[in-house]
Amino acid sequence: MTARNTDTKEEIIRIGKELIKLYGYNAFSYADISKQLNMKNAAVHYHFRGKEDLLAGILENYVQDYATLGKQLQSSGWSAMQKLEKFIERYSCLVECNSICIIGSVASDYNTLPESVKEKTAELIEMVMSMVEKTLQEGKRNGEFSFTESARTQALLIMTNLAAGVQLARISGKKDYDAIKRALIRQLKK
Amino acid sequence: MTARNTDTKEEIIRIGKELIKLYGYNAFSYADISKQLNMKNAAVHYHFRGKEDLLAGILENYVQDYATLGKQLQSSGWSAMQKLEKFIERYSCLVECNSICIIGSVASDYNTLPESVKEKTAELIEMVMSMVEKTLQEGKRNGEFSFTESARTQALLIMTNLAAGVQLARISGKKDYDAIKRALIRQLKK
DNA sequence: ACTAAAACTTACTTATCAGTAAGTAATCCT
DNA sequence: AGGATTACTTACTGATAAGTAAGTTTTAGT
């Protein structure tokens, strides 16, 4: 009847990613997704048997996404600061569209998540963490960055600043996030 | 019939606080609370007309709680570091019982919260923020702390480290939280 | 052109949610 | 002692959730 969309599955993931960052895992339904696609909720079940399969798909998509970013940074020739700024930019975009970091979102709902996806969550975090850690290490080696903690700990500090920064920005506004962002960069340069 | 409990309302808030820190606002029900009290869900509705009234009550309880802590710190004669450690201790306890900070919890669900409680959320944050800010200011004045950012910004950095730190700890473990905590204190002393 | 698989819709089920109205039992006030 | 208030229970309602079975249309391969 109407035109068929051959990549409905990808669209579902795209919408699911949006919803989970806007409202969280427990606050969106298959109906929310199917409505946006002008379909029935059973259509979503066709592509993802259950909600946990969808979440697994979304997390896997993020893993792929960060793998791509990682390769992109590696072959970019950019300075460590430019790489880090590319990473931070992602969080600034989240603030712009009233969303929060996927990691913060799943972490908040973690105790209600099905066991099957908990490991994938840890995998995603480790991936992001090691990306930041490597960039910090590189920046320290070539004199761009200066910090006294281990690269791992410094990465933790930055990650938590950003993750909670976007959460806070929802409530107390963009200004607080911007202050965090500026302080973060300033301290690394010092 | 059975013994009547005169402070059911406080018990409801106590259980509500636990549930919201464990699972989030959208992932607990009146039934979860009433079961723990061996009552019917209508009993909870008797004390709190709707879920948003309960959330307002919970947030108000936190405001009172932090007001008490504030006064306690003010009249304690403690050093700024001791005051800050008292504050940090609260977050360490959260990690211990697999919970997250109330602020992070409501921030994650913020876009799904009823309008009536959004302002109370902002009020709670401002209260906690100014408490930390004052303690930092005091510590800087008397030479206990050393930091280059404004006290407000430094408070933001610490708050976000802690809030996201407890979230992260759920997934990647207590070790990461401890590293954050140690780094935080070390940097202030430097 | 025929067939099989893919991509759906229709129509439903079961469970759980927040919320409510009416009734009951205990307690307090006078 | 009597009446009102407090603190519930009983017994619902309507909405929405995830999920499913069976049927239908579309597309792709041969």
- Is nucleic acid strand D under 7 Å from B2's C-beta? no
pLDDT tens-digit series, residues B84-138: 999 999 999 999 999 999 999 999 999 999 999 999 999 999 999 999 999 999 9
Place of tokens 């809030």: B163
Q: How confident is the model at residue B4 (pLDDT cuts 50, 70, 90)?
A: very low
Picking from B152, B167, B52, B11, the residue whose alpha carbon sits closest to that of residue A160 is B167
Which residue is the nearest neighbor of C20, CA to C1'? B42
Q: Residue B5 has what pLDDT?
A: 52
Q: Is residue B69 classed exposed, middle or buried when 0-12, 13-18 and 19+ CB atoms within 10 A define those classes? A: middle
Positions of chain C reached by protein Cβ under 7 A: 7-11, 16-22, 25-27
Instruction: Please state the rounded mean pLDDT for residues B16-42.
Output: 97
Cα separation, B190 vs B178, whole angstroms: 18
Q: Is residue B132 classed exposed, middle or buried when 0-12, 13-18 and 19+ CB atoms within 10 A define those classes? A: buried
Angle, in degrees to the nearest 10, between helices A51-74 and A8-22: 90
Chain B residues in contact with A27 by the CB 8 A cut-off are 26, 109, 112
**Chain A 15-54 residues whose Cβ is under 7 Å from strand D:** 28-32, 41-42, 45, 49-52
| Nearest beta carbon to residue A27 from set B112, B148, B168 | B112
Task: Report yes or no: A65 and A87 within 8 Å, Cβ to Cβ.
Answer: no
Cα separation, A130 vs A78, whole angstroms: 18
Task: Report yes or no: A99 and A21 within 8 Å, Cβ to Cβ.
Answer: yes
Q: Which residue of A23, A121, A157 to mutate against B (max B Cβ within 10 Å)?
A: A157
Joined tokens for residue B95: 């990690």
Q: What value does the mean pLDDT of chain B take?
A: 95
Cα separation, A120 vs B171, whole angstroms: 10
CA distance readout (Å), A67 to A71, A82, A152, A189 = 6, 18, 19, 27
pLDDT tens-digit series, residues B44-97: 999 999 999 999 999 999 999 999 999 999 999 999 999 999 999 999 999 999
Q: Which residue of B162, B167, B187 to mutate against A (max A Cβ within 10 Å)?
A: B167
Write the CB contacts of A88 (distance below 8 Å, at least 6 apart in sequence). A162, A181, A184, A185
Distance from CA of A3 to the nearest CA of B (A): 33
Taking 70 as the pLDDT cut, the residues of chain A under it are 1-6
- Is nucleic acid strand D under 7 Å from A177's C-beta? no
Q: Do the chains contact at A121 and B171, CB–CB below 8 Å?
A: yes
Closest-lying nucleotide for A114 based on CA to C1': D18
Chain A residues in contact with B94 by the CB 8 A cut-off are none
Q: How confident is the model at residue B190 (pLDDT cuts 50, 70, 90)?
A: confident
pTM (2 decimals)? 0.94
Q: Do the chains contact at A157 and B161, CB–CB below 8 Å?
A: yes
Q: Residue A190 has what pLDDT?
A: 84
Q: Do the chains contact at B107 and A171, CB–CB below 8 Å?
A: yes
* Long-range CB contacts for residues A76-81, cutoff 8 Å, separation at least 24: A79/A139, A79/A144, A80/A135, A80/A136, A80/A138, A80/A139, A80/A142, A80/A144, A80/A145, A81/A139, A81/A144, A81/A145, A81/A185, A81/A188, A81/A189
Q: Do the chains contact at B179 and A156, CB–CB below 8 Å?
A: yes
Q: Do the chains contact at B24 and A112, CB–CB below 8 Å?
A: yes
